[in-house]
Amino acid sequence: MGKKRKHTESEAVAVLKKENDAPERPKRTLLGWKDKNEVKDNEVVVVVKDVDSPFFRNKEKVLVTCSRRINYRYRHLMLNVVSLLPHCKKDNKVESKETKGATLNELVELKNCSSCLFFECRKAKDLYLWMAKCPNGPSVKFLVSAVHTMDELKLTGNHLKGSRPIVTFSTNFEKDAHWKLLKEMLLQIFETPKDHRKAKPFHDHVFVFSIVDDHIWFRNYQISVPHNDADKLPRGGLDKMTLVEVGPRFCLNPIKIFGGSFGGPTLYENPFYVSPNQIRALQKKKNAGKYAKKVKAKTRRKMHEMSNTLEPDEFADMWKE
């Protein structure tokens, strides 16, 4: 048998191999490829990060869920929104209680998400949408109205599932501070990250958010382009492109903006908001007023007939014989 190599010789060979190897590849971080200077001192690791790096990687993930006892139309609307957002995660229904904020924040943390869309149904009639950035806020509560799902509309537009949308806003969003905040939240939630694994790397539809009568109206359009070789568009040929609506449609009426996630200090409150309960109560009073008017008209007619009795007609019994 040969002699064993001494430890000093093996250590010297290992050092030579390390010197001849290529430098180690830097670790990939949230903000791109960076060199980290790690200093170990008494088992404490100090990491020096380059703050002024030009790289930014969007890792937005949205949790979409709803409350129990939700209406079927509103559930279909939620499923349509889930199909439009490839970077979202759908979860089970959550009980609509006072403690729903803590429950949803915990779910968002467990699902490794950064935002949340919570569809809350009340009295099987009214739909509220909570839009929150977790866990530090802010959050917005909307009343959803004018709901039309894709199955109801049966529009001719169509686009690939998972393709990235062009998110557009009307110029009204630059008018006030609360509209600017809502624009930024909508942009972060509805914009698909560039390198997401479920996203297609091109744009073929447009999300349109417009403000009319202090309400946010949502529309989804397909970008239709002719595909024939003769009609092939040159770069920048926008005059031949057309927009075909896909759906769904809904309207958002902002109620309150909170500083925290699903609660906290109130940053903005809509002074023109009227709850659906008040609208229904006024409608009941109006209908009750109609019935009261009918009853009063009947009593007035009876009083008039009693005060103005007709004289007996002498020819009334003439033809009975």
List the domain boundaries for the chain.
62-227+238-279
CA distance linking residue 265 with residue 27, whole number of Å: 40
Indicate the pairing of strand 62-66 with strand 88-90: parallel
The yes-or-no verdict on residue 144 having pLDDT over 50 is: yes
pLDDT at position 40: 43
pLDDT at position 48: 43
Token pair recorded at residue 66: 């709803």
Q: What is the mean pLDDT of residues 83-100?
A: 90
pLDDT at position 11: 55
Q: What is the mean pLDDT of residues 53-74?
A: 86
pLDDT at position 46: 43
Q: What is the mean pLDDT of residues 115-138?
A: 93
The yes-or-no verdict on residue 184 having pLDDT over 60 is: yes
The yes-or-no verdict on residue 47 having pLDDT over 50 is: no
Q: Report whether CATH 3.40.50.10480 matches the domain 62-227+238-279.
A: yes
Mean pLDDT, the chain, whole residue set: 83
Instruction: Give pTM, 2 decimals.
Output: 0.73
Q: What is the mean pLDDT of residues 142-171?
A: 93
CA distance linking residue 289 with residue 179, whole number of Å: 40
**Closest C-alpha to 78, from 130, 153, 139:** 130
DSSP class of 231: T
Band of residue 195 on the pLDDT scale cut at 50, 70, 90:
confident
pLDDT at position 25: 57
CB neighbourhood size of 171 (10 A): 8
pLDDT at position 239: 73
Band of residue 179 on the pLDDT scale cut at 50, 70, 90:
very high
CA distance linking residue 258 with residue 265, whole number of Å: 6
Spatial CB neighbours of 113, under 8 Å, sequence gap ≥ 6: 61, 62, 63, 89, 134
**Widest Cα–Cα separation across the chain:** 151
pLDDT tens digits, 269-304: 999 999 999 999 999 888 888 888 899 999 999 999
CA distance linking residue 196 with residue 61, whole number of Å: 10
pLDDT at position 277: 93
Contact call for residues 210 and 172 (beta carbons, < 8 A): yes
Q: Where are the alpha helices (DSSP H) in 53-156?
A: 72-84, 100-110, 150-153
